[in-house]
Structure 1
């Protein structure tokens, strides 16, 4: 529910009140004594879904941007006419649940902080995320998402497009570009300082840290996070519900991958940053694409009817452009996903071969103690470098034919030659 307060220009009082009467809207009128070109101030409650239509009609009746209109939340309205008005606008569809175009624009603008605050919060978020990744701490990484101020620019571009506010669109795009650059740069500088000061153990292999490695070689499922965040973000602000948790979800798609890219750069492995940087870019584009499509589906259109066709064409061009770019990145992520699938299949087959060999009669006295596939560091398309097999058996016995057999059988499942390291442990029966 909303309470609307607007000033009535001279000569428009009767026209505006008649428009409200025709809509069945309760209102209160007070005289305006500020010696300006207004005769009265009108207050009236409206269901949230009725705000846009009523304000558009009143604007046609003479309320222009030189006047001011204030829309605030109303906790409770007790009125039979109001209940009838709410039932009239509640159609049970998406459009009946959304806030007005005017409120949406104000909400999108309010979610984007000033340049200084945005920059500082983005840098802090990236630094905290970098620390969390290096500590291999999911809790710290989640904490970095909470403080990231990314939701406003991420959704503002779509809002600016559908309501024909190019200033909002341009500002949101620039903020997003700045956010990505700042996050990666801040992460790289912080990680470099941590490395040269030996805050982390010297010789730390970033590929062995789970929180980092999973973002250096992202898979296709990462797209679902970004698309879901974009849809959820728009639905949250369009229905007037809390956007705090959705903001965390959007940050989850952007901040940790950016921090992983910065860490890879600081560790002198720019090729390892390719996957995480691609993930950041595709997530940014996916959030914008999902938000734009959701806004158009929810029925948001420009204020001026004459710009509908122009805006629709603009939306179509931007959607097509975003889809093409997202698909290109999706192919790249799909290739990484396929590479991971091949690696997992190799690991499973190689282990199976080891077990089959040890089940043979001539090697029955040996048993598999441990099996490990060591990956190379060729991110983002990592693959098996060598296989380490730890076998237990009678003390003092290590038949060379077992090692040869395992090497041959394991490499049957590899596209490129894979080293096989056999570690023998003597087992004493008690």
Structure 2
């Protein structure tokens, strides 16, 4: 279930409550008149089944509530209520399959911000990966992949393409390209510093690295893994499965490839640098393609499910013909 807290001007409260009452899947409607101070008005509280949430939020926005009032949505982990159970049963579709597009856009918008913190995380992850590739240490590689925050902008691009939001595409591309450029540049400086202290040397980048050589040797399997990871990552975002997202982070070699490219550049090994960049681009492209296709399929399946269930509900409620 979702919990809605709405700030509504007093002259629009009846309009909003009428919408909530006639929406299938709502429960626990409460109105607190005159409580709101900024903006002045009423507070309307309501619970709604997740599968009915996206459409209800869209209707509230069509009323202009996000302009003249406020819409706050919270996920409820536990609701013990017979009314809530009936609301979930009445709402078409399954809550686990429902996508809250407003929530997804907001989440990817926040994760696609080119900020000092974002660059710091990506740079630290790339430097950790640089240590991993130079030491041929798979554990460091896995740790670096878990630290990297690059899935946010990738998901932002997929979401923006499906929702036709060009501003979010631009924001995500700036975070993705700018973030990797800054992280790789800082990692080049890091590699030079480590070389000056005698911790890195040419033999480490040129030697055999059975555990980490894959980061600069792209093949079709790299794209397949990235594609599958993109599907899993997108599903984890739309269903709020953070554990799955962590698994995605440690399955795709975006950060290690960027790190190897930076270190190879610092030692003028342009062959490895080129292979690493190709690996990076293949992984980024596979994730974006998979994320976009996954969201399109989810959108189409959800519309089909809702249409069929609504038709079924209308058939059940249709009065039978009188008998003679």
TM-score w.r.t. the length of structure 2 is 0.83
State the 1:246 CA deviation: 4.4
Contact 2:8 2:68 survives alignment (8 Å): no
> Are 2:226 and 2:287, in contact at CA under 8 Å, matched by a contact in 1?
yes
Distance (Å, rounded) in 1 between the aligned partners of 2:55 and 2:185? 46
**Conserved in 1, the CA contact under 8 Å of 2:4 and 2:72?**
yes
**Alignment match, 1:415:** none
Q: Note the C-alpha offset of 1:174.
A: 0.9
Q: Which of the pair has more CA radius of gyration? A: 1
> Is residue 68 of structure 2 the alignment partner of residue 63 of structure 1?
no
Q: How does 1:26-425 map to 2 (within 5 A)?
A: 26=27, 27-34=29-36, 38-89=40-91, 91-92=93-94, 97-112=97-112, 115-200=115-200, 203-204=203-204, 206-242=206-242, 244-246=245-247, 248-249=249-250, 252-299=252-299
Cα displacement (A) at 1:202:
6.0
Q: What secondary structure is seen at the aligned counterpart in 1 of 2:213?
A: helix
Find the counterpart in structure 2 of residue 403 from structure 1.
none
Conservation of the 8 A alpha-carbon contact between 2:8 and 2:70: no
Which residue in the other structure is 2:322 paired with? none
Hey, what does 1:20 align to over in structure 2?
Answer: 20
* Larger fraction in helix: 2
Question: What root-mean-square deviation, in Å, do the aligned CA atoms of Structure 1 and Structure 2 show?
Answer: 2.4
Tell me the SS of whatever aligns to 1:232. Answer: helix
Q: Which 5+ residue runs of structure 1 have no aligned equivalent? A: 301-430
> Offset at 1:118?
1.1
Q: Shift of residue 73 of structure 1?
A: 1.7
Give the drift of 1:91: 2.7
Question: How far did residue 155 of structure 1 move?
Answer: 0.6
2-side partners of 1:133 and 1:37: how far apart? 55
Query: CA separation of 1:245/1:193 partners in 2, compared to 1, >3 Å: closer, same or farther?
Result: same
Q: CA deviation at 1:186?
A: 2.9
Report the CA distance between 1:21 and its aligned residue.
Answer: 1.7
Distance 2:283 2:141 in 1: 17
Q: Cα–Cα, structure 1 residues 204 and 33, in superposed 2: closer, same or farther, change >3 Å?
A: closer
Check conservation: 2:36, 2:43, Cα contact below 8 A. no
Partner of 1:361 in structure 2? none
The 2-side partners of 1:38 and 1:205 are apart by: 65
SS of residue in 1 equivalent to 2:257: helix
Greater RCO between the two (CA within 8 Å, min separation 6)?
A: 2
CA positional deviation for 1:82? 2.0
> What whole-Å deviation, never above 9, does each CA across 1:69-105 have from its counterpart, x for those lacking one?
111121222333322221233535xx86233111112
The alpha-carbon distance between structure 1 residues 216 and 101, as it changes in their structure 2 partners (threshold 3 A), is closer
Aligned length in residues: 297
Report the Cα distance in structure 2 between the residues aligned to 1:101 and 1:208, rounded to whole angstroms: 47
SS at match of 1:28: strand
Do the aligned residues in 1 keep the contact of 2:123 with 2:186 (CA within 8 Å)?
Answer: yes
Q: For structure 2, list consecutive stretches of 5 or more residues without a partner in the other structure.
A: 301-324
Offset of residue 172 of structure 1: 0.5
Distance in 1 between residues matched to 2:209 and 2:96, nearest whole Å: 48
Cα displacement string for residues 353-403 of structure 1 (whole angstroms, at most 9, x for unaligned residues): xxxxxxxxxxxxxxxxxxxxxxxxxxxxxxxxxxxxxxxxxxxxxxxxxxx
Whether the aligned pair in 2 keeps the contact of 1:113 and 1:149 (CA below 8 Å) is no
Pair 1:286–1:125, CA change in 2 (3 A): same
Please give the TM-score of this superposition, normalised by the length of structure 1. Answer: 0.64
Q: 1:201 to 1:166 in 2, by over 3 A?
A: closer
1:155 and 1:288 in contact (8 A); partners too: yes
Instruction: State the distance in 1 between where 2:146 and 2:157 align.
Output: 21
Give the distance between the partners of 1:159 and 1:214, measured in 2 at CA: 30
**Deviation at 1:143?**
1.1
C-alpha distance in 1 between matches for 2:205 and 2:78: 59
Cα distance between partner residues in 1 of 2:46 and 2:58: 15
8 A Cα contact 1:111 1:152, kept in partner = yes
1:69 aligned counterpart, secondary structure = strand
